[in-house]
Amino acid sequence: MGQKELDGFFEKFLQQDPLFVNKKALQGNYTPKNLPHREDQINLIAGVLAPALRMEKPSNIFIYGKTGTGKSLCINYISSYLLTIAEKNNIPLKIIYLNCKLKRVADTEYRLIAQLTREFGVEVPATGLPTEEIYKLFVKQVDKEKLLLILILDEIDQLVHKTGDEILYNLTRLNTELTNSEVTLIGISNDLLFVDNIDPRVKSSLSEEELVFPPYNAMQLQGILRQRAKLAFRKDVIDEGVIEKCAAYAARDHGDARRALELLRVAGEISERKNENKIKVEHIDEAEDKIERDRVLEQVNSQPKQFKLTLYSIFSVCSNTNNNGHPIFTGDIYEVYKDACQSCGLKPLTQRRVSDIIAELDMLGIINAKVISKGRYGRTREIRLAIPSSTIPKINDTLKEGLGL
DNA sequence: GTCAATTCACATGAAAGAGACCACGGTCTAGTG
DNA sequence: CTAGACCGTGGTCTCTTTCATGTGAATTGACGA
């Protein structure tokens, strides 16, 4: 782009009325004034938590629901409400929200407690102390303040999956060690089968109250999208069918409202970038591609080298055998992977480890790996790519760059 | 043809190690009065 | 005498290896009709 065209571009950009008036309304952490289709859940949670205002310990709650069903949103909504009322009436209530998936913040037992302790204004080292020590510090601090603590642990299933369910036992036992304060736990899990796998003793005390957030259906998603779109966009910038398509896309994979909103936002950004004055249906497709690509790129880039190399190997095996799309197996990938290691001077990992990496890639949704038995010919993972093939070249380039190939 | 045993090619689990990070307490050193 | 440098010990955390055990159906081979 020469300078003249650039001038023209900026001029035109400025002249154009922006599509967005308040982009925040489409962002994941935005809490709207009312949450449609979640009245029942909100009432139930509010009912359980209400005793807190009388300084009585509310029951522990366990909340299930897939991503984007509004769990965190509802909890945040209620807790900010609860906090304002508590403040008005001088009730010593503290609510801590922690997402257990956040890397290097709360993804291990030590870090979780350390982070909680920090919430009380005590600086604790990131590592180096025994876990027991950090528990003591935390308990001491909570007890000193003499309050009611509501602890919201989002994505707690991830934490337990990683560190074992001992941590839940320790958490539920916190109250027995506290004399002046009390702790209520609110666990949020994406995995509906999560509690089936934990110690029954812990289970009964952790899920005194249980609550499921069902996925939104397409109609509900449309309602939500309309509500937010009204806040986010200028009037009449959304073409017909756009909302419906967004909702349909999101409803297709388990009614994820967050995804629907993101789709709409990115579509808006795309059409704005193209200097168009309306969001059209085809922008949704582009947005979906872009979101998928960005998601994968972000995940891949935050992973170690061996991880990238494994993914690279999968890509190359896939593109070699792409004809009639027949599936590929762990063994194939490991062979290619070993060669790839040699050509970029890395020491190959054992097959055991690569097998785990493949499982992790599956968890991230980059590939689909299904364990199958081929009878006499053994047992292995059947691997397929789970991302649109249009996004692969770009990802592959990034991988190569990262690996110096 | 039928049925149980065999067999393959990994999956899956458990434990433990390497190496990075860090805190803590003790010892040593240099600067200060 | 004291602040700071340095060291050893012991802790967490991530990535990895090693060893051990598990698994599901195609294949095999014995058996009976």
User: Each residue of A69-115: pLDDT tens digit?
Assistant: 999 899 999 999 999 999 999 999 999 999 888 877 888 889 999 99
Portions of chain A given CATH number 1.10.10.10? 303-403
User: Does at least one atom of strand B sit less than 7 Å from the CB of A380?
Assistant: yes
Portions of chain A given CATH number 3.40.50.300? 39-212
Q: Is the pLDDT of residue A18 over 70?
A: yes
Q: List the A242 CA – C13 C1' distance (angstroms).
A: 46
Specify the pLDDT at position A96: 94
As its CATH architecture, domain A39-212 has 3-Layer(aba) Sandwich (3.40)
Hits for CB < 7 Å against strand B across A residues 247-306: none
Q: pLDDT class for A130, splitting at 50, 70, 90?
A: confident
Q: pLDDT class for A48, splitting at 50, 70, 90?
A: very high
Specify the pLDDT at position A314: 92
Portions of chain A given CATH number 1.10.8.60? 216-299
Mean pLDDT across the stretch A324-333? 82
A124 vs A97, more confident: A97
CA distance A134 to A116: 10
Specify the pLDDT at position A31: 85
For the domain made up of A216-299, the CATH class stated in words is mainly alpha
Q: Is the pLDDT of residue A374 over 60?
A: yes
Give the start-end residues of each E strand in A201-342: 209-213, 328-329
Task: Give the max Cα distance, chain A.
Answer: 72
Question: Residues of chain A with pLDDT > 90: what percent?
Answer: 39
User: Does at least one atom of strand C sit less than 7 Å from the CB of A352?
Assistant: yes
Specify the pLDDT at position A344: 85
> Which nucleotides in chain C lie less than 7 Å from some protein C-beta?
10-20, 22-27
Specify the pLDDT at position A52: 92
CA distance A186 to A62: 6
Specify the pLDDT at position A322: 58
Question: Residues of chain A with pLDDT > 70: what percent?
Answer: 98
Mean pLDDT across the stretch A117-132? 85
Tens-place pLDDT, residues A188-197: 988 877 777 7
The rounded mean pLDDT for chain A is 87
Tens-place pLDDT, residues A213-241: 999 999 999 999 999 999 988 888 888 88
A49 vs A130, more confident: A49
User: Does at least one atom of strand C sit less than 7 Å from the CB of A170?
Assistant: no
Q: Which nucleotide is nearest to A110 (CA to C1')?
A: C12
* Lowest-confidence region among A140-149, A194-203, A263-272, A360-369: A194-203
Structure tokens given for A20: 């967005």
Closest residue to C14 (CA to C1') is A304
Q: Is the pLDDT of residue A323 over 80?
A: no
Mean pLDDT across the stretch A327-337? 92
Q: Is the pLDDT of residue A271 over 70?
A: yes
For the domain made up of A303-403, the CATH class stated in words is mainly alpha
* Contact indicator for A97, A152 with CB cutoff of 8 Å: yes
Q: pLDDT class for A49, splitting at 50, 70, 90?
A: very high
Q: Cα–Cα distances in Å, from A35 out to A81, A103, A210, A220, A346?
A: 13, 29, 20, 11, 52
Specify the pLDDT at position A39: 92
Phi/psi at A67 (nearest 5 deg)? -60, 145
A63 vs A325, more confident: A63
Specify the pLDDT at position A297: 87
- The neighbour count for residue A370, using CB atoms within 10 Å, is 11
Mean pLDDT across the stretch A332-345? 91
* Contact indicator for A388, A292 with CB cutoff of 8 Å: yes
User: Does at least one atom of strand C sit less than 7 Å from the CB of A302?
Assistant: no
